[in-house]
């Protein structure tokens, strides 16, 4: 069970808070092992929209292993983070968050993390209108601009407002699996985004930025069983459409053919096996659905920058 703690302070931006929290809540509905807590120095706080958020748990004396602490931004960080509640929370963060925990900030939440000292010497980001002030007020922090989110060790920082949802989808994918992240994104009608210098979108998540039910259904079949001998005819039949129409839908909505998508997913599965085992190339190829190691190498050349052998050398 992953315990997720959302810090709610006076002036909390509702979209920062609700978008991120709903992503984790929906993931839990899909079976992910998340339990959400809403904490703060007071049992209620007035939000950015004037609505009062009540029923908040007190700041806990300690956190369980692998806990996730999320700091949504506030409406007026220059003022709101000077209040007594924010200063109390910064002191709590400083003494409570350990390397075994994940600390995540959304938008101006980076200022509270910086106030606690937990961003000192780290790369981070925040809303584009706040990067200059964060650099000026916290010179020990390395502020990166034009990023959706940045990871440095056990600390994630994200840019303004909806970027917190991108961060949530990334964490859900890492901790509960890409299929759960896809399911969450589809239910909330969200899209996966990454900035240029962050890790590229996982092959398991690529080509999923659409809402076509038939294409998603076919993609789900492939992701759940890459080694199956998938044909366009079978995928179409199980997606309740014709092979020609499914191929057309794939090109329109996913930007790739069904056959190429199958090869890409098999290549991703092979890459994981090469990283995690010492199985031979022939065995890996067979386990993920390729007819031979040579067929796997041809597919690999299409989707990866290095050879399977080089990939294994880099991850012994």
Query: In this structure, is residue 194 part of a structural domain?
Result: no
- CA-to-CA distance for 182 and 192, rounded, in angstroms? 9
CA distances from 254 to 78, 247, 306 (A): 43, 10, 24
Query: In this structure, is residue 12 part of a structural domain?
Result: yes
- CA-to-CA distance for 249 and 263, rounded, in angstroms? 18
**With contact defined as beta carbons under 8 Å apart, do 52 and 88 qualify?**
no
How many structural domains is the chain composed of?
Answer: 2
CA distances from 315 to 63, 253, 310 (A): 32, 34, 9
What domain range includes position 232?
A: 203-316
Residues 145 and 287 in one domain: no
Query: In this structure, is residue 197 part of a structural domain?
Result: no
Question: What pLDDT digit, counting tens, does each position of 285-302 carry?
Answer: 999 999 999 999 999 999
Residues 26 and 152 in one domain: yes
Residues 33 and 108 in one domain: yes
**CB burial string 264-298: b at 16+ within 10 A, e below:** bbbbbbbbebbeeeeeebeebbbbbbbeebeebbe
Q: How much is the pLDDT for 196?
A: 47
Residues 180 and 36 in one domain: yes
What DSSP string runs through 120-137? TT-EE---TTTHHHHHHH
Structure tokens given for 29: 């509905």
Structure tokens given for 209: 């930025």
Residues 156 and 235 in one domain: no
Residues 146 and 209 in one domain: no
Query: In this structure, is residue 192 part of a structural domain?
Result: no
Query: In this structure, is residue 116 part of a structural domain?
Result: yes
The three-state secondary structure class of 54 is: strand
Please count the other Cβ atoms lying within 10 Å of the Cβ belonging to residue 234.
14
CATH number for the domain that contains residue 140:
3.40.50.880
Residues 48 and 130 in one domain: yes
Residues 247 and 307 in one domain: yes
Residues 212 and 142 in one domain: no
DSSP-derived secondary structure letter, 2:
E
- CA-to-CA distance for 235 and 312, rounded, in angstroms? 32
Query: In this structure, is residue 198 part of a structural domain?
Result: no
Instruction: Tell me the whole-structure pTM to 2 decimals.
Output: 0.81
Identify the domain boundary among 156, 184, 212: 184
Identify the domain boundary among 184, 216, 239: 184
pLDDT per residue rounded down to tens, the chain (316 residues) = 999 999 999 999 999 999 999 999 999 999 999 999 999 999 999 999 999 999 999 999 999 999 999 999 999 999 999 999 999 999 999 999 999 999 999 999 999 999 999 999 999 999 999 999 999 999 999 999 888 899 999 999 999 778 999 999 999 999 999 889 999 998 998 877 765 455 556 788 889 888 899 999 999 999 999 999 999 999 999 999 999 999 999 999 999 999 999 999 999 999 889 888 889 999 999 999 999 999 999 999 998 878 888 777 765 5
Residues 174 and 241 in one domain: no
CATH number for the domain that contains residue 296:
1.10.10.60
Residues 158 and 27 in one domain: yes
Which residue spans within the chain are E strands per DSSP?
2-7, 34-40, 44-46, 52-54, 57-58, 68-71, 102-106, 123-124, 142-143, 149-152, 155-158
Residues 149 and 208 in one domain: no
Query: In this structure, is residue 25 part of a structural domain?
Result: yes
Query: In this structure, is residue 24 part of a structural domain?
Result: yes
CA-CA-CA-CA dihedral for 270, 275, 281, 287, to nearest 10: -40
């Amino acid at each position: 069970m992953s315990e997720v703690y959302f810090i709610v302070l006076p002036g909390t931006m509702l979209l920062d808070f609700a978008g991120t929290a709903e992503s984790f809540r929906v993931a839990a509905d899909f079976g992910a092992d998340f339990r959400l807590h809403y904490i703060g120095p007071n049992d209620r706080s007035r939000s950015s929209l004037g609505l009062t958020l009540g029923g908040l748990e007190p700041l806990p004396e300690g956190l369980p292993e692998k806990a996730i602490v999320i700091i949504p931004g506030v409406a007026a960080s220059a003022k709101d983070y000077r209040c007594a509640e924010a200063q109390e929370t910064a002191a709590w963060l400083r003494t409570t968050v350990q390397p075994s925990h994940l600390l995540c900030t959304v938008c101006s939440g980076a200022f509270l993390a910086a106030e606690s000292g937990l961003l000192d010497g780290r790369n981070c980001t925040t809303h584009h209108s706040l990067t200059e002030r964060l650099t000026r007020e916290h010179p020990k922090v390395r502020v990166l601009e034009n990023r959706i989110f940045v990871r440095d060790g056990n600390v994630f920082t994200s840019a303004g407002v909806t970027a917190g949802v991108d961060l949530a989808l990334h964490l859900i994918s890492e901790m509960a699996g890409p299929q759960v992240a896809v399911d969450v994104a589809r239910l909330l009608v969200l899209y996966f985004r990454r900035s240029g210098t962050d890790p590229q979108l996982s092959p398991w998540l690529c080509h999923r930025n659409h809402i076509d039910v038939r294409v998603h259904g076919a993609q789900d079949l492939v992701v759940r069983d890459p080694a199956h001998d998938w044909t366009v005819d079978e995928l179409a039949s199980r997606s309740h459409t014709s092979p020609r129409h499914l191929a057309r839908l794939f090109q329109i909505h996913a930007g790739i053919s069904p056959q190429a998508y199958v090869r890409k997913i098999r290549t991703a599965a092979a890459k994981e096996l090469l990283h995690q085992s010492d199985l031979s190339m022939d065995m890996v190829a067979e386990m993920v659905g390729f007819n031979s190691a040579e067929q796997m190498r041809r597919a690999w050349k299409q989707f990866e920058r290095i050879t399977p052998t080089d990939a294994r050398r880099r991850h012994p």
